[in-house]
Amino acid sequence: MEHPPATDAELGTEGATGTVAPASSDCVVCNHPITGQVYSIGDRSYCHEHYVRALQRRGTWPSVWILFAALVAIALLMQLVGPALTPLLTGGSLVVAGLIMAILPALIWLFVFRRLDRLEPEPFQYLLGVMILGALISGAIGDPLRRGVYGMHLWSESQWMWAIPIYALTQGLLLALTVYITVRFSAFLIQDFDERADGVIYGTAAGLGAAVYYNLRYLMDAGALRLDVGTARIIIAALVFASIGGLIGYGLGQVRFEPHSIWYLPGIVLLAALLTGIYEWLSSETFSRSLGYTAWVSVLIAAVLGAVLFAAINVLVRSAIRQTLSEGTESDLAVAR
Amino acid sequence: MSETPAVTATTVLAPWAGGRLPLTPYHGQGGLSVSDLIVIIGGIALLIGGWALQRAHDARLDTAEIAGLQVAFPEGWLPLPVEAPAIAQWTEDQGSGATLTLYAEPAPAERAGIQLGSPNPAEAQSAYTPMRSEPITVGSTSAVRADYAYARQQIATSSPPEIIRGREVAWTANGQQYALALEAPDRDWSSFEGLFESLGTVAVTQGGAG
């Protein structure tokens, strides 16, 4: 089916019309052969429908932040109503509720992060594959080390000068290395990893995979599902792990398309480990002597850290897309702006 | 696709060509790069460093099995004989008078699983003053943490009573009510209170899962 050239009104952009390539090829979004006019951004070819969609201002960020606020609100709400609901969950309903709690927030975050890649959203099956691989590596290597060698499931310390370095050099590094190895030796090598922002998206998928595993493990450890504690922990942990994964993915996206110092990736991995250490310290502070707050404050503090990391990922993705487009045409630059 | 540079046959088939690893995985090379090796080998070295740091930190603590419960106590502290409801007690070895005590008593059957009061008898001490009490969650176990103080008269001396500061965590598990209490003279309290979180976490987590 042939389409007329996209108009400014359709694009919702000012002055960005894209270029019309003479030769036909496959659309980078739907992968179907393009019949009729071929639109392009940089070196990417689009069919009419996906070209319009790529250039439209989709209002993604307001909806993403609303979703973020809604998930945090659910976590806080569960602090109030969770204790009343928890006794109602027994037997099969308990198992189902546990699985939903461990997996659903991760899938929601995966959907959210995928939306950020407006130029060429990655195939969902690839993201799901990276997520599963991240969970498997966490279960096969990360968690046995975390529990068996470090005993971190029983470890706690409130003094930040001990807690942050130890959390960073144990759980933080394990998470960072899990994400790094997952992405570097899978998605990084495929053809669909064709822009810097893809690193962020695949990194978040790997981080979410690790989060799903650790959340399932947390629920199994707990023995009984507690909605007040569990909901908050799972939602926030999924976001933070995704953001940490996104940071490492950003580094991988950068080195794939630009020459960088050999210390660039190690630096990113160390930074990710340090941020994880800070998060773990904050989230363990429910038991703090000095701050003396109860669970909902802990949820808020962890959520603020999650929001900061999430905002950083926003900046990184936008910067990556801008860099990608800046290598294209003038009209692409207009899109980037 | 679009941004992937044209990769030559040499880089694909022989990333080690010339006997040198590529410095970074620039252009999406599949083989290892120097940067990858730094991440992986350096990461393992730092994990070992993290283990050593954690051991150095935890060397401040020792553990003991008390009535099926694993309890951590500061290294070098000395065990003391106890009377019920205490089931174990340690005192600081430098003579400050700081103590760590584990109390246990059966929880009434009809109220099992509900957080009750603490078996810690400190309330009976003179000038007992509750300072703060709050519900907390350690791992998945509900507990109550409380700070308190009381006056302790030195036996056979004419010196004035000494203010003792205490912090306890109380929880219910396996049909028992437990309380782990750290107490120290007010003048030394700041030296010991930092230990409490690690001690309490080990005890509650070990004793709460069942």
In tens, the pLDDT along B22-52 reads: 887 877 666 788 999 999 999 999 999 999 9
Asked whether residue A185 is assigned to any structural domain, the reply reads yes
Candidates A44, A45, A220, A287: best to mutate against B (most CBs of B within 10 A) is A287
Asked whether residue A197 is assigned to any structural domain, the reply reads yes
Q: Residue A17: pLDDT band by 50, 70, 90 thresholds?
A: very low
Q: Residue A134: pLDDT band by 50, 70, 90 thresholds?
A: very high
pLDDT of B6 higher than 50: no
Same domain? For A43 and A13 the reply is yes
pLDDT of B14 higher than 50: no
Mean pLDDT in residue range A225-243: 76
pLDDT of A135 higher than 80: yes
Mean pLDDT in residue range A24-52: 71
Residue A60 has what pLDDT? Answer: 61
Q: Which residue did the predictor score with more confidence, B112 or B164?
A: B164
Q: Residue B205: pLDDT band by 50, 70, 90 thresholds?
A: low
Residue B15 has what pLDDT? Answer: 46
Same domain? For A173 and A127 the reply is yes
Same domain? For A23 and A172 the reply is no
CB contact burial A9-20 (16+ within 10 A = b; e otherwise): ebbebeebbbee
Taking CB atoms and an 8 Å limit, are A193 and B34 in contact across chains? Answer: no
Closest by Cβ to A169, choosing from B25, B49, B198:
B49
Residue B209 has what pLDDT? Answer: 42
pLDDT of B62 higher than 80: no
Chain B residue with CA closest to A321: the answer is B3
Same domain? For A226 and A243 the reply is yes
For chain B, how long is the longest CA-to-CA vector? 92
Asked whether residue A1 is assigned to any structural domain, the reply reads no
Residue A327 has what pLDDT? Answer: 63
Name, of A88-102, A197-211, B67-81, B158-172, the range with top average pLDDT: A197-211
Same domain? For A42 and A103 the reply is no
Q: Which amino acid is at B88?
A: A
Residue A259 has what pLDDT? Answer: 83
Return the percentage of chain A with pLDDT > 90, whole number. Answer: 23
Backbone angles phi, psi at B201, to 5 degrees: -65, -45
Taking CB atoms and an 8 Å limit, are B2 and A289 in contact across chains? Answer: no
Same domain? For A46 and A78 the reply is no
Asked whether residue A278 is assigned to any structural domain, the reply reads yes
Taking CB atoms and an 8 Å limit, are A189 and B28 in contact across chains? Answer: yes
Same domain? For A127 and A171 the reply is yes
Closest by Cβ to B47, choosing from A173, A257, A262:
A173
Contacting residues of A for B6, CB less than 8 Å apart: none
Q: Provide the chain A residues 94-133 that lie in CB contact (below 8 A) with chain B.
A: none
Closest CA to B71 of B53, B84, B86: B86
- Quote the mean pLDDT of chain A: 76
Asked whether residue A79 is assigned to any structural domain, the reply reads yes
Q: How far is CA A217 from CA A181, A232, B67, B198, in A?
A: 21, 15, 27, 22
Residue A118 has what pLDDT? Answer: 67
Q: Residue A5: pLDDT band by 50, 70, 90 thresholds?
A: low
Mean pLDDT in residue range B109-130: 71
CA distance A40 to chain B (A): 11
- Quote the mean pLDDT of chain B: 76
Contacting residues of A for B200, CB less than 8 Å apart: 287
Chain A residue with CA closest to B51: the answer is A150
Asked whether residue A337 is assigned to any structural domain, the reply reads no
Closest by Cβ to A173, choosing from B50, B58, B139:
B50
CA distance A294 to chain B (A): 6
Q: What is the CA radius of gyration of chain A?
A: 21
Residue A277 has what pLDDT? Answer: 92
Rounded-to-10 torsion of CA A138, A139, A141, A146: 80
Q: Residue A266: pLDDT band by 50, 70, 90 thresholds?
A: very high
Residue B8 has what pLDDT? Answer: 41
The three-state secondary structure class of B184 is strand
Residue B153 has what pLDDT? Answer: 76
Distance (Å, whole) CA A107 – CA A125: 12
Mean pLDDT lowest for which of A48-52, A293-297, A299-303, B75-79?
A: A293-297
**Concatenated DSSP letters of A219-255:** HHHHSS--HHHHHHHHHHHHHHHHHHHHHHHHHHHHH
Which residues are paired to B99 by β-bridges? Answer: B91, B183
Return the percentage of chain B with pLDDT > 90, whole number. Answer: 9
Q: Does B198 touch chain A (CB under 8 A)?
A: yes
CB contact burial B139-171 (16+ within 10 A = b; e otherwise): bbbbbbbbbbbbeeeeeeeeeeeeebbbbbbbb
pLDDT of A247 higher than 70: yes
Same domain? For A12 and A79 the reply is no
Mean pLDDT lowest for which of A192-196, B89-93, B191-195?
A: B191-195
Taking CB atoms and an 8 Å limit, are A194 and B1 in contact across chains? Answer: yes
Q: Residue B84: pLDDT band by 50, 70, 90 thresholds?
A: confident
Q: Tell me the per-residue pLDDT of A166-201, one tens digit each, with 9 for 90 and over.
A: 999 999 999 999 999 999 999 998 888 878 888 989
Residue A33 has what pLDDT? Answer: 78
Closest by Cβ to A286, choosing from B24, B39, B136:
B136
Same domain? For A76 and A44 the reply is no
Mean pLDDT in residue range A44-49: 73
Q: Residue B87: pLDDT band by 50, 70, 90 thresholds?
A: confident
Mean pLDDT in residue range B166-185: 85
- How many domains are contained in chain A? 2
Same domain? For A49 and A73 the reply is no
Chain A residue with CA closest to B145: the answer is A287
In the A/B pair of chains, how many CB contacts fall below 8 A? 159
Domain with CATH 3.40.1000.10 in chain B: 62-208
Same domain? For A135 and A45 the reply is no
Q: Does B133 touch chain A (CB under 8 A)?
A: no
Same domain? For A118 and A23 the reply is no
Mean pLDDT in residue range A53-62: 62
Asked whether residue A331 is assigned to any structural domain, the reply reads no
Closest by Cβ to B38, choosing from A176, A262, A287:
A262
Q: What's the predicted TM-score (pTM) here?
A: 0.68
Instruction: List the strands of the sheet with A19-21, edge to edge.
Output: A19-21, A38-41, A44-46
Mean pLDDT lowest for which of B2-16, B39-53, B166-180?
A: B2-16
Q: Residue A275: pLDDT band by 50, 70, 90 thresholds?
A: very high
Asked whether residue A169 is assigned to any structural domain, the reply reads yes
pLDDT of A273 higher than 70: yes
Q: Tell me the per-residue pLDDT of A286-330, one tens digit each, with 9 for 90 and over.
A: 434 333 445 566 667 767 777 787 788 778 777 777 777 666 555
Q: Residue B115: pLDDT band by 50, 70, 90 thresholds?
A: low
Taking CB atoms and an 8 Å limit, are B197 and A260 in contact across chains? Answer: no
Contacting residues of B for A168, CB less than 8 Å apart: 50
Structural domain including A295 reads: 60-326
Q: What is the CA radius of gyration of chain B?
A: 27
Please identify, among A18, A33, A56, the residue that sits at the C-terminal boundary of a domain: A56
Please identify, among A36, A56, A76, the residue that sits at the C-terminal boundary of a domain: A56
Residue A59 has what pLDDT? Answer: 56
Q: Which CATH class is domain B62-208?
A: alpha beta
